[in-house]
Amino acid sequence: MKFFLSVYLHSYSKSPITKRGKPVDPDELELEGLRQFFDANSVWIDQCALSDWVRHIQQRRNAIHFYKDREIGTFTEFDEDLHRYLDFLFDLSGRIPWPE
* pLDDT tens by residue, 70-91: 777 889 998 998 998 898 888 8
| CA distances (Å), origin 79, targets 50, 67, 83 | 17, 24, 6
* pLDDT tens by residue, 2-41: 888 888 898 888 888 889 999 999 899 888 888 888 888 8
